[in-house]
Amino acid sequence: MPRIAYVNGRYLPQSRASVHVEDRGYQFSDSVYEVCIVMDGGYWDLEGHLARLERSLGALKIAAPMDRAALQVVMKEILRRNRLKNALVYMQVTRGVAPRNHSFPPEGTPPSLVVTARRFDIRQSDARAEKGVAVISQPDIRWGRVDIKTTGLLPNALAKQAASEAGAYEALLVRDGHVTECSSSNAWIIDETGALITHPKAEAILGGITRQTVIACAEELQIKVIERPFTLEEAKAAKEAFLTSASSFVMPVISIDGTRIGSGSPGPVARRLREAYKAKAANG
């Protein structure tokens, strides 16, 4: 069965699903996106992802392609048409199609909406989390508004490629000596006292929806959370480290640039938080 994509009002086999060559998403990365996980037919952290999509659109003054209720119909239909119960759903909204010109197109130019879905196997993620992952550091060379979830991801892609070439899972991005986040996830460490430390929400990081839910889990587990920047040296000396994202959940880190973290295997706090996150996300 071919994968089906939603493009501007139509459901098409992915091989025939396309956007215009003058789509501003294609030419200027003038577009925003969301990635959501679906387990047993239910979207995890749905409210958070929809709210962030609306925030990203608002920050760039891109018109919403449809209201929330209509988008949720498309999000349901893409699962049905692809016969998926466990999926990774990708949604992208661009400022639409117009003759190439840096300034915005005329008011009323319709935005483009693309929604795709593919199978997501939680067992692969769980197996990876059992072992923990290696990460490397890379310079954070991104623009100043990475709190907006745009598709302008070239620096992220270059950092992730450097990680892949080094046999690592992710890249910790470092600016002025401090770890901001990772190429496609938020970064966390656990200090000597057992407190969680993660970069505060700011224009320098993407406010992860998983990050937000993990903070709520930590509060329920009475684990202290300190939102402050931390250095690469602090990270390497941390008791534990982990990453969070919609598709990685809570992923324990066992080495940074070849330096072993803690005992060199997934730590107990990261494991607990992974279980707590999964339970909380599954229950809406």
- Residues in contact with ligand PMP by CB under 6 A are 35, 156, 181, 184-186, 206, 208-211, 244-246
Residue 220 tokens, joined = 């329920």
69 SS3 class: helix
How near is the Cβ of 159 to ligand PMP at its closest, in Å? 10
Q: Would you say 37 or 113 has its CB closer to ligand PMP?
A: 37
The DSSP 8-state label assigned to residue 100 in this structure reads S
Active site residue 149: yes
Dump strand ranges (E) for the chain: 4-7, 10-13, 31-39, 42-43, 87-94, 112-119, 133-139, 170-175, 178-182, 186-190, 196-198, 225-227, 230-231, 240-245, 249-256, 259-260
Determine which one of 76, 149, 160, 239 is catalytic.
Answer: 149
**CB within 8 A of 4, min separation 6: which ones?**
11, 12, 13, 14, 78, 81, 82
How near is the Cβ of 49 to ligand PMP at its closest, in Å? 7
Q: Would you say 116 or 186 has its CB closer to ligand PMP?
A: 186
Q: Would you say 82 or 248 has its CB closer to ligand PMP?
A: 248
Cβ–Cβ < 8 Å for 111, 96: yes
Q: Would you say 23 or 181 has its CB closer to ligand PMP?
A: 181
How near is the Cβ of 111 to ligand PMP at its closest, in Å? 20
How near is the Cβ of 209 to ligand PMP at its closest, in Å? 4
Indicate which residues carry an active-site annotation. 149
